[in-house]
Chains A and B, each alone.
Chain A
Amino acid sequence: MIELHDITQHYGVRPILREISLRIEPGEVIVILGPNGMGKTTLLGVMGGVLAPQRGKVWIDGMRRRNSEDEELAIRRRTVYLPDRPWLPATRTGREFLLAVGRLYDVEEFRLMEHVDRLLDLFDLADKGDSAIMTYSAGQTKKIALASALVAETPILLLDEPFSGGLDPAGILTLKRIIQHHGRRRDRTIVLTSPVPELVEEIATRVIVLHDGRLLAFDTIDGLQRLAGHRGPLDEVLQRFVFPDATRKLEGYLQDFGR
């Protein structure tokens, strides 16, 4: 369970997050949606513990973030936070990297080795698994980073834009299937961000819609459609939330300059 209370965050003068309070139940797959620069990554960073909010508190499984050494360490051991573009050890092989991450999370050794093999195979990295990460393409580095989040086998996964960064269609499909699988089994709490609603429509239990640092909505897709008064796809629903004038402006533009 992840609980945020009154989170306000600003790096400079302009607040990035404003008074956000929400509660994510165990086993949910939550997608944070919103246009660029609206605070998605910051909100995930606050949950992941890489940011200390100026105001507000974060609880993970009943333990408060950055409150005591033991609690924080326990939270870190049961949470994986994977940023959009993590820094990977260039000279280590993909397999070494995954093994090191798994050991850091105390995954049992034989299970870990088996899991690493399976993940490398799953993400089409079996041939590259024993090559240094510096020889990987952009998409392959993204895949190995995603595999590292999965190999830790933590109950909470926080993934920042997991579908971006040069991931090929096979990789996107694989990741979607894995998230869907965990969503169905409700064995892991997964929070991810995405600027593209179509990618996450099928996997989200609930959706957080952010705009200008404020929580516009936090509901199921059905709930969002009801709130927006529109039964269309998620991108159209999102547009009605975030840019209520955008449809009218677009129609006006196409009428005047569409020829």
Chain B
Amino acid sequence: MIRRIPPAARRWLGQWFALVVFYLFVELVTLATPQPHEIGRWILGVAAVFWGVRRVAAFHPWYNGDYRRWLGQTPWTSRKPLPMGPVVPTWGDGLYLATILLLSTIAPEPGLLRYVALFVIGHVAAIVPTIRKEDAPIRAVTIAGLGLAVRHFYSPPVCLAAGVAVYLLAYQGLRRSLDRFAETPEPYRLSHENVTGDPLVDQLNAVGWPYGPMLVDTQDTRPWPRLDTAILCLLVAWWIDCLAALFVDPQRRLAFLALVSSIFELFTLLRLGAYVQGCAPPISFWGRIRTMRLIIPGYDRIWVGTICGLLAGPMTVALLAGLGAPMEARLSAACGMVLLVLILTPPSLRRWRLTGAYRLDPMKARQAGKQFIQAG
């Protein structure tokens, strides 16, 4: 009997059954606890987001390299249905969501709309990466709209309305990405050429030192236009502010923002790490002091971005405080500003690797353990 059910439906049934059993089990176990439905709500919320993501992540060729490459070799066009299944919600998703809504009635709160909104948010979030670069405005507005939906998480009607509006926009991006899918066929690669999944890392690993650092071109060959960078940083700041809004308690909200701001300050050190990795100073520290060449402009220029990045956060907070902005906005904006400074402060990583006054050091190869051996 079970064998007669198609595999896709069998998979669906399995996941549906797992959710129902797991949820009921957890509800049963936590029934006697002081907050009996708390974990159950989380389970349903995560299940709603997961199912929204799954529809795109499991069926959009963008997420599956083999599927994408195979599809590229076929005469498929966006006018035909995708062979593995559609990326837009189906009746199966509706039934799954209906199950979640049905199960949610066991607990008195938080209401049905919130789970529908979570499903939509998950679904749109999974669509965003698939939107093509050419449709950057659609992508940017979708990301901003998603932030708005998250910001109003505690007002389910507004959250759902924002989610649906943003879905209509994201759907345009999705449709256009599938329309132009066949325009950018991927080159065929031998399996051994693609070991880590990152072509740059694979190339570096395949040729060792010094061929790798000398010849493998760093990826920022086309630096983002400044406007795109500014939009990206604005979106980051906006999203941090939206996520902070999920904390109802003001103290916890500020603590979250302080933590995120600290992480962004740490990015300055990560950036410095990316620059100095394998690029040693041309002269030792002792040599600098003895020869009184305390600053070597060709090398020390990498410190400019680090110092500016470290100063950008506190300066933004101080500036916005002077303008009377609330603390939440100051900290969120500081994160965006740190990111902006880190991206825009010269030199770019590629320029540094090609023109910096450093000494190429095989440190990375030496530290890679058994991955590299020294000839001779």
Contacts and interface: CB of A to CB of B under 8 A. Distances in A.
A236 interface: no
A227 interface: no
B287 A89 contact: no
B356 A52 contact: yes
A134 B216 CA distance: 23
A113 to B, nearest CB: 12
Between A69, A142, A148, A166, the greatest number of chain B beta carbons within 10 A of the residue's beta carbon is seen for: A69
Contacts of B216: 104
Contacts of B209: 86-87
Nearest to B370: A90
Given A13-B291, A73-B354, A138 B376 contact: yes
B375 A68 contact: no
B372 interface: yes
Given A69-B350, A84-B376, A51 B360 contact: yes
Nearest to B279: A52
Contacts of B208: 86-89, 97
A2 to B, nearest CB: 16
B206 A13 contact: no
A54 B293 contact: yes
Interface residues of B, number: 43
B371 A83 contact: no
Given A10-B283, A81-B210, A164 B376 contact: yes
A141 B375 contact: yes
Contact of A100 (B207, B210, B286, B350): B207
A91 interface: yes
B283 to A, nearest CB: 6
Contacts of A69: 350-351, 354-355
A81 B375 contact: no
Contact of A10 (B205, B287, B357, B372): B287
Contacts of A81: 210, 214
Given A13-B286, A50-B214, A142 B372 contact: no
B65 interface: no
B192 interface: yes
A76 B373 CA distance: 23
B362 interface: yes
A52 B359 contact: yes
Contacts of A53: 282
A12 B287 contact: yes
B89 interface: no
Interface residues of A, number: 47
B207 A101 contact: yes
Given A69-B351, A86-B209, A141-B375, A51 B215 contact: no
A118 interface: no
A97 B357 CA distance: 29
Contacts of B287: 10-13
B365 interface: yes
A104 B370 contact: no
A11 B290 CA distance: 11
B30 interface: no
Contacts of A68: 355
17 contacts: A10-B287, A11-B359, A52-B358, A54-B282, A66-B298, A66-B356, A69-B350, A85-B375, A87-B208, A90-B370, A90-B373, A104-B215, A105-B215, A133-B373, A138-B376, A141-B374, A145-B376
6 closest Cβ pairs, A-B complex: A165-B376, A100-B206, A87-B365, A52-B357, A87-B209, A141-B375
Interface of A: 10-13, 48-54, 66-69, 72-73, 76-77, 81, 83-92, 96-97, 100-101, 104-105, 133-134, 138, 141-142, 144-145, 148, 164-166
Given A52-B357, A87-B365, 19 more contacts: A11-B359, A12-B284, A12-B286, A12-B287, A13-B286, A50-B210, A52-B358, A54-B282, A66-B298, A66-B356, A68-B355, A83-B210, A87-B372, A88-B374, A97-B208, A104-B203, A104-B207, A141-B376, A142-B376
